[in-house]
Amino acid sequence: MKQPKLPQAIANSILRNIAAGKIKVGSHLKTQSVADEFGVSRSPVRVALEALEGQKALRRELNKGYYVTSDALKIAAEMDLAVDYRDMDGAYDQFVNDWLNDRIPNEMTETSLRKRYDVTRSRANSIMFRAVHEGWAERKPGYGWRLREVAKTEEAFNQIYRFRLLIEPAALLEPGFTLDQKAVARLREDQEEVLHIDASDIKKFDQLERGSQFHAELARMSGNLMFHFGVIRANKMRRLLEYRAPIDKDRFVVECTEHLEILDLVEAGEMTEASFKMRIHLDGALKYKRQSIPFGKN
């Protein structure tokens, strides 16, 4: 029997975190903690954890809960962990536009979401799971969700990029920068994949994820938590406006090529050159997006 989409998305997210090393083998996964992280009730989390147990990625201990098994890494590596959001793009896009244009309050309930967008309970929860996953919504204690502040205007977007232009090149020059070779290999594989796929196969969500992960991982290697958290927060705040940019295969190729050039410099230990290249890359991205994003339009 096919697993429901929300539990499947949660299970895939857990496996992605295991593959990325954010969840370690032997870690204890508590149902309520996972529910809080994803901003959902415990019901879909239970289904997700049971499914992962069935795949041998988790083991269940009586009266204790679930633990990550040594097989989880192999399972994560072999699975296609893409989150399939195609069936709710219309309602989700409308939800995004309503938030960007201040047409909805900063607190929403399942009932208000279902009524406004004429969706089922399951679909309403899937929409909110995606918003939580992308970092612009959070589960309220008790009932409902709170929508976080994001960049909604061209000036706010410019401010985010000016902030990135300050911290991301500097992160590469941190004295504590430590190269994570496994992470670099994953980033390189992600970027090279775009160069070899047909334009019709490129999904905007996937490409934004690739870019965000690239910049966040390099900031993490700086060893400076402030740089790392700053990049993560900037990525979350700019994401919704960047959804409005059209899919441009040529631009994706430019971005991925520049990402690979930065990785080459970092691996060679040429950090000053890598920092300079990062600044040029971000400046070019800002100039392109200023022209391509329809700021202030529905």
Q: Which of 185, 160, 291 minimizes the C-alpha distance to 238?
A: 160
pLDDT confidence bin for 106, thresholds 50/70/90: very high
Q: Report the pLDDT value the prediction gives residue 77, as an integer from 0 to 100.
A: 62
Tell how strand 28-29 and strand 65-68 pair up. Answer: antiparallel
> Which tens digit of pLDDT belongs to each residue from 43-80?
889 999 999 999 999 999 988 889 999 888 777 766 54
Roughly how many angstroms between the first and final C-alpha of the chain, as a whole number? 39
Paired tokens of 79: 């699975």
Q: How far is CA 13 from CA 37, 43, 81, 147, in A?
A: 11, 16, 7, 21
Q: Report the pLDDT value the prediction gives residue 78, as an integer from 0 to 100.
A: 62
Whether pLDDT at 199 is above 50: yes
CB proximity list for 126: less than 8 A, separation 6 or greater: 5, 6, 9, 85, 88
Q: Report the pLDDT value the prediction gives residue 183, as an integer from 0 to 100.
A: 92
Average pLDDT over residues 77-100: 67
Average pLDDT over residues 8-26: 80
Cβ atoms of residues 61 and 96 within 8 Å: no
CB proximity list for 9: less than 8 A, separation 6 or greater: 83, 84, 126, 129, 130, 133
> Which tens digit of pLDDT belongs to each residue from 131-174?
877 778 887 876 788 998 888 888 989 999 999 999 999 999 99
Q: Report the pLDDT value the prediction gives residue 175, as an integer from 0 to 100.
A: 97
List of domains in the chain: 5-78 (1.10.10.10), 86-147 (1.10.10), 154-292 (1.20.120.530)
Q: Higher model confidence: residue 85 or residue 183? A: 183
Whether pLDDT at 203 is above 70: no
What is the side-by-side strand order in the sheet with 107-108? 107-108, 145-147, 137-139
